[in-house]
Amino acid sequence: MGELRLMKGNEVIAEAAIRCGCDGYFGYPITPQSEVMETLMNRRPWDETGMVVLQAESEVASINMVYGAAGAGKKVMTSSSSPGISLMAEGISYLAGAELPCLIVNVQRGGPGLGTIQPSQADYFQATKGGGHGDYRLIVLAPASVQEMNDFVDLSFELAFKYRNPVMILSDGAIGQMMEKVELADYKPRWTDEEVKEVSGSWAAIGKSPDREQNIITSLELASDKMEQNNIRFQAKYQKIQENEVRFEAIDCDDADYILVAFGSSARVCQKTIQLARAKGHKVGLLRPITLFPFPTEEIKRLAGRVKGFLSVEMNAGQMVEDVRLAVNGKVPVEYYGRMGGIIPSPDEVEKALEQKLIGE
């Protein structure tokens, strides 16, 4: 059993980073995630593990610092909230194009624009469909608890290096700000120079001897035939991720007639909703995608052969519902219910929506 603590989601991101051997954090303050950097600056990990922490002049700078440090083969990360992630979009596209492993945490708030500092899931499209320019994908993990904020940091680095791809933890202001019991991981030492060389020496810019080929971190390829080959390679990688890395949690789906599909904070609301519905005699289950890319398409497709309908519950205007509909492909009705503007729906209102939209009288 690891060390137990009562902590905020944002604080746990910082603690987990230090403990998993992260080499660097570069960020810029924005509510509701500023505790990530504040916790790091308080902890002074540079004295403890050697991890560097830097407050950048903007999110544009912090994501490019991540680009430089990730290109050095190091385990590095940033965190921000929605408007800051928009500013990082350019850098994220370059990271994807240069195939650099790194972790980006988005503790979402409501938008568009400056919007609200209250929790939201309105960046689903941005996280899963690009956000920046060009054909690329991030691996996107959606934590629904403070414990998962902890667990997904190490998992993100594992996936990032396995696929040489940026990973995003798509959280929201509720999970970032709330306190829960968390079991912390044991300390893992940072990689030594030798280990960095072993893991990433074939591609990272770590300094070359006269006889080795250059390692060049770049997304540029002017020759279309070569660039298309790069694109094909990226797509093959994303396909492999789709085949191997789908993660989801299914609660009470086995005998369910209706399935709620929800991630993160809205999935927590829906856990209560299925209890309310079952108390009324409706057989309702919850499918919680943990990876938003890769999306649990196959599992939804499988369930669609058996259930009477799906309700996608989101804190946005209905974004994930499009992926649910693609998976269900018209077999049964797929409805959406959600709130916007930083409002978290109540279990009751979701239950009512379920009855109105799917179950009927």
Partner 1 sequence: MAEVAENIQNIIKPENLVYQKSPVLTDKVMHYCPGCSHGVVHKIIAEVIDEMGIQEDTIGVSPVGCSVFAYNYIDIDWHEAAHGRAPAVATGVKRVFPNKFVFSYQGDGDLAAIGTAETMHAVNRGENIVMVFINNAIYGMTGGQMAPTTMVGQVTATTPYGRDVDLNGYPLKITELIAQLPGAAYVTRQSVQTAAAVKKTKKAIRKAFEIQANKKGTAFVEVVATCNSGWKISPVDSNEWMEEHMFPFYPLGDLKDGEKEDPEALKMNV
Nearer Cβ to partner 1 (62/116) = 62
Letter string b/e over residues 51-82, b meaning 16 or more CB atoms within 10 A of that residue's CB: bbbbebeebbbbbbbbbebbbbbbbbbbbbbb
Alpha-carbon distance of 311 to 8, in angstroms, equals 30
Alpha-carbon distance of 149 to 342, in angstroms, equals 20
Site for partner 1 in 61-90 (CB under 8 A): 61-62, 64-72, 74, 76, 90
Determine how many CB atoms are found less than 10 A away from the CB of residue 194.
9
Binding residue for partner 1 (CB under 8 A) from 42, 202, 218, 346? Answer: 218
Nearest approach in angstroms of CB 172 to partner 1 is: 27
Nearest approach in angstroms of CB 251 to partner 1 is: 41
Nearest approach in angstroms of CB 221 to partner 1 is: 11
Nearest approach in angstroms of CB 17 to partner 1 is: 14
What string marks each residue from 9 to 48 as x (binds partner 1 by CB under 8 A) or -? --------------xx-x----------------------
- Residue 292 · residue 152 · CB < 8 Å: no
Nearer Cβ to partner 1 (91/176) = 91
Nearest approach in angstroms of CB 219 to partner 1 is: 7
What string marks each residue from 94 to 133 as x (binds partner 1 by CB under 8 A) or -? x---x-----------------------------------
Letter string b/e over residues 158-187, b meaning 16 or more CB atoms within 10 A of that residue's CB: ebbbebbbbbbbbbbbbbbbbebebebbee
Segment contacting partner 1 by CB under 8 A, of 5-13, 56-64, 269-277, 297-305: 56-64
Binding residue for partner 1 (CB under 8 A) from 5, 29, 60, 158? Answer: 60
Nearest approach in angstroms of CB 293 to partner 1 is: 23
Nearer Cβ to partner 1 (94/238) = 94
- Residue 120 · residue 345 · CB < 8 Å: no
Listing DSSP states for 230-261 in one string gives HHHHHHHHHHHHHHH---EEEES-TT-SEEEE
Alpha-carbon distance of 130 to 26, in angstroms, equals 22
Nearest approach in angstroms of CB 92 to partner 1 is: 11
Binding residue for partner 1 (CB under 8 A) from 18, 153, 217, 334? Answer: 217
Binding residue for partner 1 (CB under 8 A) from 129, 181, 208, 308? Answer: 208
User: Does the protein bind partner 1 through residue 230 (CB under 8 A)?
Assistant: no
Binding residue for partner 1 (CB under 8 A) from 4, 6, 179, 216? Answer: 216
Nearest approach in angstroms of CB 52 to partner 1 is: 5
Site for partner 1 in 187-206 (CB under 8 A): 204-206
Nearer Cβ to partner 1 (58/329) = 58
Binding residue for partner 1 (CB under 8 A) from 56, 146, 241, 328? Answer: 56
Nearest approach in angstroms of CB 228 to partner 1 is: 19
- Residue 272 · residue 295 · CB < 8 Å: no
Selection from 28, 38, 30 nearest residue 8 by Cα: 38
Selection from 63, 118, 54, 120 nearest residue 86 by Cα: 63
Partners of 109 in the beta sheet? 119
Stated length of the chain:
361
Partners of 52 in the beta sheet? 24
Q: For the purposes of burial, counting CB atoms within 10 Å of the CB of 37, is it exposed (0-12), middle (13-18) or buried (19 or more)? A: buried
Beta strand pairing call for 248-251 and 284-289? antiparallel
**Residues within the interface to partner 1 (CB under 8 A):** 23-24, 26, 52, 54, 56-58, 60-62, 64-72, 74, 76, 90-91, 94, 98, 204-210, 214-220
